[in-house]
Structure 1
């Protein structure tokens, strides 16, 4: 998965409410949906004199001055540091052929793909801090999509969202009930999501995770997912 494919898939499967170009920047209106849908990105050559305009545009939306820094943007990273923007939430991206995850599907009772999300799925997300604003992000996705309800020991155990852009599927909003973690529910939801993605024409499965989330990264590595990129945010 190339960096361009990664960022295009991320944008399509977790879209902002709106976006517009202001000078060299894309300014996103996240409407409370989190950093990914609210961060500005550089799309053309920029100078330090262009930075205040981006900051003002985000302030006009009621959002903090937040920039997403991708591979090769070291000069922008340094310029933002000089303006007092601190690093927030470094992220690691993973991907694998969808067949690698779909080869061993979980039992039919372990995870249920469906759309729109059931009430219990919304409740599970809310308990993990994924509220209506992030569910609204999912509802904006135009392509194939579904959410998953995980079950463990005959109890609802977790929820996740997956969507497809072209032939790339991306998983988002994976949440497992704390008391039922490390029992295989996340594994089951990932594999079921891959099966669903394969049935809907995807050939590659991907996700992003905060780099500090070592238990999740260990799980993804154990499933054969490979690191395909990294990015981070800077916020003033």
Structure 2
């Protein structure tokens, strides 16, 4: 679920136009999707009091967009992302300014010019947080106005640009609107910034490569109608790109965790085909992020293989136009599915004494046959490249766990009919969560068809919540 946290804090700014930031926060929030949850945080008597209120307002899961207000509103959202993702978190700081002064070096004494340094552990004592952000996990973008002490800190610590973000990083995106060239509705405009299109292109590239852990948009002090018009186009697009990143990163991992025989990227699609295998996931086109998928290109791919064109419309929340286009072309909707996620810690806590066991690889086919009566998936399982393990409770139930880059996908969840309602699935889930945690993968995902109410109730009782939806569109 998308949550918009509106923080009308202006007291951290030294600009003469700072009081306008409260109105700016409200206008930014109004530009965002109405389907999400909107939380407005009232400012406190001090910045520390406001920060504490923001901390309490942040949800435990889902995608959060924080709108300010001055850049100081990012203190708690970035810290929360650090606590969730640890050292894998990188921060992409789109800002004309470095925001890396200390109380001793700041020319103005304004906190919005210290926020990024404070996140590194050097700032006002009442605003320091733990854990701290390492300089090597910061990427500056569009920065062109550094104070001398900030420039020295950047040189000493080796802070770089977007190209320094590690391939497996989770990224928090901060956008101070003064990063834009020509905008006047900010406290300290600087010439030579990014165009709106260049900003969208940079964020789209990040969202295609990384899970975006959160997004902050700050420093809008409404002054010019043309700025408002531009932001009404820009802000929803930034949110769309960033909010879609986690579903896409899950789907990308799921595609590798359950690999098709033939896979290629073409025409805005990840095209998959597995001759002789009937599973939809192995024989469907998945839209690539940020692309405009060509339906004729997908149809040509599957026509060449003499099979019906099937599209996995995922995430459904982001692909309404594509879904409507396919429906208009006669594609029928099938298999409405929910993708659920949980932390390994929550699943372990829900079933601390699970009796599932890691199965010897030589027994996987035997166990699948005993529990499900179907071993057709073994051909696919044998092709899995990421680390995989079958967790089983004797021949009563099992799940296949596939771990990659901090996530573990759970597939083939099954309980033998003679052992249902005996806690078998919970035991297997608990063992899978422990196996995942031991490999440094703190998060789990799985798919469940929307009308499978008993399975949904089980997963929700173990700490799983909704990430996104998808369904398939099939043209006979």
Please state which band the TM-score falls in when normalised by the shorter chain. Answer: 0.7 to 0.9
Instruction: From the two aligned structures, give the one with the greater strand fraction.
Output: 1
Match of 2:279 in 1: 34
- The alpha-carbon deviation at position 56 of structure 1 amounts to 2.7
- Which of 337, 342, 350 aligns to 1:96? It is 342
User: How has the CA–CA distance of structure 1 residues 22 and 205 changed in structure 2, closer, same or farther, with 3 Å as cutoff?
Assistant: closer
Q: Does 1:78 align with 2:324?
A: yes
Task: Specify every segment of 5 or more residues in structure 1 that has no aligned partner in the other structure, as ranges.
Answer: none
Runs of 4+ in 1 over 6 A off after TM superposition: none
**Number of residue pairs the alignment of both structures matches:** 224
CA shift for structure 1 position 117: 5.2
1:159 partnered with 2:394: no
**In the aligned structure 2, how far is the partner of 1:166 from the partner of 1:125?**
29
Match of 1:148 in 2: 391
Give the equivalent residue in structure 2 for 1:220: 459
Look up the SS of the partner of 2:422 in the other structure: coil
Paired residues for 1:33-72 under 5 Å: 34-43=279-288, 44-46=291-293, 50-70=294-314, 71-72=317-318
1:204 and 2:443 are equivalent in the alignment: yes
Shift in alpha-carbon separation, 1:208–1:117, aligned structure 2, 3 A:
farther
Quote the residue 1:131 is aligned against: 375
Q: Where does residue 247 of structure 2 map in the other structure?
A: 3
| Unpaired segments ≥5 residues, structure 2 | 1-61, 63-245
Tell me if the contact between 1:102 and 1:198 (Cα under 8 Å) persists in the aligned partners.
Answer: no
Work out which structure has the larger RCO, using CA pairs closer than 8 Å and 6 or more positions apart in sequence: 1
| 8 Å Cα contact 1:94-1:227 kept in structure 2 | yes
TM-score of the two chains, using structure 1 as the length reference: 0.87
Q: Give the Cα separation in 2 of the matches to 1:17 and 1:115.
A: 25
How far has the Cα of 1:20 moved from its partner? 1.3
User: 2:403 aligned with 1:179, yes or no?
Assistant: no
Kindly tell me: are residues 111 and 41 of structure 1, through their superposed partners in 2, closer, same or farther at Cα, counting changes over 3 Å? same
